[in-house]
Structure 1
Amino acid sequence: MEERANSRGETRAWPAGPVLCRGCVEPLIFLANFALVLQGPVTTQYLWHRFSADLGYNGTRDRGSCTNHSVDPTAQVGDGVGDGQPRVRNGTLVIRPLPPQKVETLTSHWTLYMNMGGFLVGLFSSTLLGAWSDCVGRRPLLVLASLGLLLQTVLSIFVVQLQLHVGYFVLGRILCALLGDFSGLLAAGFASVADVSSSRTRTIRMALLEACIGVAGMLASLIGGNWLQEQGYANPFWLALALLIAMTLYAAFCFGETVKEATPARLFTLRHHRSIVQLYVTQAPEKSRKHLALYSLAIFVVITVHLGAQDILTLYELSTPLCWDSRLIGYGSAAQHLPYLTSLLGLRLLQYCLADTWVAEIGLAFNIMGMVVFAFATITPLMFTGYGLLFLSLVVTPVIRAKLSRLVRESEQGALFSAVACVNGLAMLTASGIFNSLYPATLNFMKGFPFLLGAGLLFIPAVLIGILERANHCPEFQQFSQSP
């Protein structure tokens, strides 16, 4: 919802447009993630093959081996193989292409550039827009974020169709982040769920929203992998564009506003950022600053590991010894999103006999085991075993989000989930910086080392959640705790 100035220099909101129906926020999140997951692995594979063509690498996957048949078989060690420079042998000019590690490194680094560009802009915009939505309502943020995702997809189509420089992927990511990005969409989505749910049902409602993310990702992965195998890179982007157009129209005309009393408010003001800072520095009867800070740290580490693993999984599967094709990558990505659904079912069942804290600890345990299996996976069945062990890995984030939501007032939900969106963006940058830099650096001695690092990092939220649960039973913290 835009603003305009009246004759006195005050701001007021544009009048709300017609609403065709009072729809919920779940379809928005479903469509957005479907479009994003449809594009994610396709973008990575496009970068892989684009750099392969540019560098002269002609890797094949015959008989499960990613060998480069264009390398001169008579080359000796120390003869300059793999430097991309021409050599003369027996009077014949031979050009030996760069090894596949160079392609992996370039792909990993450009993924880092995209994530970094999105974070640096989103750090400002998502926190500003989320707190703004506490005043003007959730719909304006949902519309802006939808338009940003739409604009990013249009630029991606130009890159693929016109063979533009891959730097336009970074530009699209920055423009998307400027309008809120997917993190802003999630902030508005989780805040709207908190607006209409009770303290008792909030955890399962948060898990239901995350399940929409997972189901959309699973379906998009299955469609994208097979579609890419048959028809190339362009068509998945066109489908994503159509879905994002539908999502933008739904956000503008069908979403039912959940803020009871929307009031006009300036967008570009420091007051919105101050409201987020005050969550952590101002003492209030409703919250414990220590709990807010430590739960935020816990969700930061969890998201860092999840996003870091996602960033390198496609590369890990494309290269030797797994050497997956587009269809297998689609199946792997679907398996990667299946825990969103299985975690929802597991959370609902485990809540009958266990507190939310124990459910989160069980989820972290399975997550750690899955990461360890990934680290040593050299064959396809072992890789899917790792995916199977993650079936409860995503019960952690809805539990933490629900606990955070209970620590603030209703009028602070947008600011809270803007802070969580900021944490999500910081986690994305940290994940890209660590995993996308560590992966190429460890290719020579242990390819799966980043997954082992992720498993070790997950012990941090496991300890923090246990400490906070124990603190809830101490007299000095009982005034802040609420029943789940």
Structure 2
Amino acid sequence: MNCSKTNVSFLLLCLITLIVTYGTLLTVVVKIQFIYWKVAESHNTTHRVTTDCGNSTSSEIDQLVAKEVSKWTLEFDMTMFLPASIAGIIVTSWGDRVGRKIAMTIPVVGMVLSNAFLATSIYLNWPLKSLFLYNLLAGLGGYYMTLLMQGYAYISDITPSVDRGIRMAILDTCLGIGGGVAGLSSGYWIDSQGYFAPVMTCTIMVAASLFIIPLLPDSHKLRRQLAEERESNVNEDQSSTSSNPSYGTCDDVDQKNEKNPKKKGYNLLDLFRSVWNVYSSEFSHCDKCHVTGDDCNTLSKTSSDEMCPHGGGKYPGRVWRMWCYLISYDFAMFVNVGSSVFLTIFLLSQPLCFNPVLIGVQSGMKFAVGALTPFLVIIYQRVLSFSNNFIIMIGFLGWFGYALLMSFANETFLVFIATAMLTFGYSHTSYIKAQMANMVSEYEHGASFALLSSSEILTFLAATVTFLTLYSSTISIYHGFAWLFAAIVLIIPMILMTIVWIADKRRRNQLLDNERKPILS
């Protein structure tokens, strides 16, 4: 019964993600091309002229427009990502206390209001400065990344650790499908109906997701039901096989804390404190077993796992692993976002000179190859028996090859060959999040993703500043320099993941040699 509920919950979550992704990413593509058109219009030219590669005068205008578009995009993104970085960490951690559905609603409402304002701005042909309010409205709600982190936390709540990577990869595939359809339709839609119709449609679609979110079952209740089933199974196994004390149901700790139950508050300081604990301590709190850092001070100092069935207790080496995963994820998003913010300008400019249809095809192909990710990770895990860390490395290598080849792309076919390399490039972020969720208790999933959400938003800002500045500064020297820089940056997370891979392999070998010991004395 609970298994069917979790499957239905996951399908509803995928549907919400698909709808919001399509609406959000199509709006982003339309917004960038709208900015390009407005800037070109201000120079008494048209979008068609700025992409005419056969005219030297057009080439000068093209570079001027590209630089100005980069400047506007940078200022707009700063207006969005600065407030979103603060809202993201608060809303995502808050989901541990009030539930995922309420926390999901906040960024969606922000996106609906911002998209409605963008549609109004386009319809009334307001000046570009009006888009500052659009970005501010989206940022105050935490924006798209906060919704995604709530989705990953929801999956972590209702999914056993062994299946989290695959389910997160499937959810990421929904992002790919939504983004692929958005990319394929954007060029034709803009050519046929202009900018207003796509944005207005996206606003209605994202608003429709607000009626689906309440249909999601409460992940906290599902988690408690699954935990009770696991505990009953553990009790049966213990009564039939051993009389040794165990941490299985945490009875000792539960009785110890019955007289002094923990008070659950929702003040802001507690939210930040719970996030900091995840990234500064090897001990996970468990609300069910009332395990805290103070309780864990009495635990034996061994290298074996010392965790309750809900993930509370000691995880040796968790702190530095969490930071390695966090930094690697941020570098991955730095390159992903950084390459996306100037990709449209890169393709519109010389020597490629793509038209809106080709831009849509490339964008659609880029996201659509991600649809193969669930099939690939199933082969990786269940056929080839690859470890999670090795799957992460494959993803980084796919993105490294994509960025390196794009740096030399001066023909259309090279762009599409490079994009095809991303077939292997969409597994790493899913498994990084799964690894992070596996190192915390079931009551800290939101806290573990809260800092990830905030750092991802700040990474969006840093990537936007870095790549738009770098691209506009080097476009006249070397058209693909920003791509070469992206490939070099990816070497850093690959080194970090190699270190974690080696450490985890040694830890697994050590655990095989040690018998499991009771955690509480």
Partner of 2:216: 255
> 2: distance between equivalents of 1:377 and 1:57?
27
| 1:44 equivalent in structure 2 | 32
Asked whether 1:425 is paired with 2:424, we answer no
Q: Is the 8 A contact 2:37 2:46 kept in 1?
A: no
**Which one has a larger percent helix, Structure 1 or Structure 2?**
2
Partners in 1 of 2:44 and 2:346 — Cα distance?
A: 21
1:48-67 map, 5 Å: 48-58=36-46, 60=48, 65=53, 67=55
Q: How much identity, in percent, do the aligned residues show?
A: 24
| One-letter amino acid matched to 1:29 | T
Q: Does 1:441 align with 2:441?
A: no
2:278 counterpart letter in structure 1: L
Residues 22-41 of structure 1: matches in 2 within 5 Å?
24-41=12-29
Quick check: 2:37–2:47 contact (8 Å CA) kept in 1? no
- 1:236: how far off? 0.6
For 1:90, the equivalent position in structure 2 comes to: none
Alignment of 1:223-238 (within 5 A): 223-238=185-200
Deviations 1:48-74 (A, max 9, x none): 110011122346469962636689xxx
Q: Which moved more, 1:334-343 or 1:219-228?
A: 334-343
Query: Taking structure 1 as reference, are residues 70 and 62 closer, same or farther at Cα in structure 2, changes over 3 Å only?
Result: closer
Letter paired with 2:216:
F
**Partners of 2:51 and 2:337 in 1: CA distance:** 31
> Quick one: which amino acid aligns to residue 271 of structure 1?
D
Secondary structure of the structure 2 residue equivalent to 1:294: helix
- Whether 1:206 and 2:168 are equivalent positions in the alignment is yes
Query: Following TM superposition, by how much is the alpha carbon of 1:266 offset from its aligned partner in structure 2, in angstroms?
Result: 6.3
Write the distance in 2 (CA, Å) between the matches of 1:61 and 1:376: 25
Paired position in structure 1 for 2:364: 334
Which residue does the alignment assign to 1:309?
339
Structure 1 stretches of at least 4 aligned residues deviating more than 4 Å after TM superposition: 61-64, 68-71, 261-268, 475-480
Distance between the aligned counterparts of 1:364 and 1:390, measured in 2? 10
- Select 1:246's aligned residue among 201, 208, 213: 208
The residue aligned with 2:252 is none
Partner of 2:322: 292
Shift of residue 267, structure 1, vs aligned partner: 5.6
1:165–1:466 CA distance, 2 compared to 1 (3 A): same
2:170, 2:373 within 8 Å by CA — same for their partners in 1?
Answer: no
TM-score when normalising by structure 2: 0.79
CA separation of 1:376/1:325 partners in 2, compared to 1, >3 Å: closer, same or farther?
A: same
What does residue range 257-296 of structure 1 map to in structure 2 within 5 Å? 257-260=218-221, 269-284=268-283, 285-286=314-315, 288-296=318-326
Q: Which residue of 2 aligns with 1:348?
A: 378
Q: Report if aligned partners of 1:122, 1:180 keep a CA contact under 8 Å in 2.
A: yes
Match of 1:459 among 491, 497, 501: 491
Cα RMSD of the aligned pairs, angstroms, is: 2.4
Structure 2 distance, partners of 1:62, 1:311, is 19
How many angstroms apart in 2 are the aligned matches of 1:61 and 1:378? 20
Contact 1:136 1:265 in 2 (8 A): no
CA distance in 2, matches of 1:419, 1:185: 14
* More displaced stretch, 348-357 vs 298-307: 348-357
Aligned equivalents of 1:166 and 1:206: distance in 2? Answer: 37
State the Cα deviation string for residues 203-233 of structure 1 (Å, max 9, x = none).
1011011011010100111111111111111
| Distance of 2:159 and 2:465 partners within structure 1 | 37
Question: Larger deviation: 49-58 or 189-198?
Answer: 49-58
Alignment of 1:382-397 (within 5 A): 382-397=414-429
| Counterparts of 2:448 and 2:51, CA distance in 1 | 52
Deviation at 1:433, TM superposition (A): 1.2
The offset of 1:342, in angstroms, is: 2.1
CA distance in 1 between counterparts of 2:264 and 2:186 reads 41
1:137 and 1:303 map into 2 onto residues whose CA distance is 27
CA distance in 2, matches of 1:410, 1:478: 25
Distance 1:49 1:278 in 2: 48
Report the secondary structure of 1:321's partner residue.
Answer: coil
- Alignment correspondent of 1:77: none
The 3 A distance-change label for structure 1 pair 266 and 196 is same
Aligned length in residues: 433
Shift of 1:113: 1.7
In the TM superposition, 1:139-154 aligns within 5 A as 139-154=101-116
Give the unaligned 5+ runs of structure 2: 1-7, 225-261, 284-313, 513-521
Q: 1:479, CA displacement in angstroms?
A: 6.8
Q: How does 1:162-181 map to 2 (within 5 A)?
A: 162-181=124-143
Taking a change above 3 Å as real, the CA distance of residues 421 and 70 of structure 1, as seen in their structure-2 partners, is: closer
Residues 317-371 of structure 1: per-residue CA shift (max 9 Å, x gap): 1111111111111101101212321222222212221222222222222211111
| SS of residue paired to 1:411 | coil
How far apart, CA to CA, are the structure 1 residues paired with 2:49 and 2:160? 53
For residues 130-189 of structure 1, give each alpha carbon's deviation from its aligned partner in whole angstroms, at most 9, with x where no partner exists.
Answer: 111101100111111110110110111122111112233232222222122111101110
Query: Which residue in the other structure is 2:89 paired with?
Result: 127
Could you tell me how far 1:395 is from its partner in structure 2? 0.8
Structure 2 residue 173 is matched with structure 1 residue 220: no
Return the alpha-carbon distance in structure 2 between the equivalents of residues 49 and 125 of structure 1. 32
Answer whether contact 2:36 2:47 (CA < 8 A) is retained: no
- Map 1:2-13; keep pairs closer than 5 Å: none
Distance in 2 separating the partners of 1:372 and 1:143: 39
Rate the CA distance shift 1:122–1:60 in 2: closer, same or farther, 3 A.
closer
Deviations 1:274-333 (A, max 9, x none): 211111112311361010011100001001000000111100111111111111111011
Structure 2 SS opposite 1:324? coil
Shift of the alpha carbon at 1:115?
1.9
**Counterpart residue identity of residue 278, structure 1:** N
Q: For the residues of structure 1 that align with 2:54 and 2:353, how far apart are their CA atoms?
A: 6
Counterpart for residue 66 of structure 2: 104
TM-score for both structures, normalised by structure 1: 0.85
Q: Distance in 1 between matches of 2:418 and 2:271?
A: 42
* SS of the residue 2:451 aligns to: helix
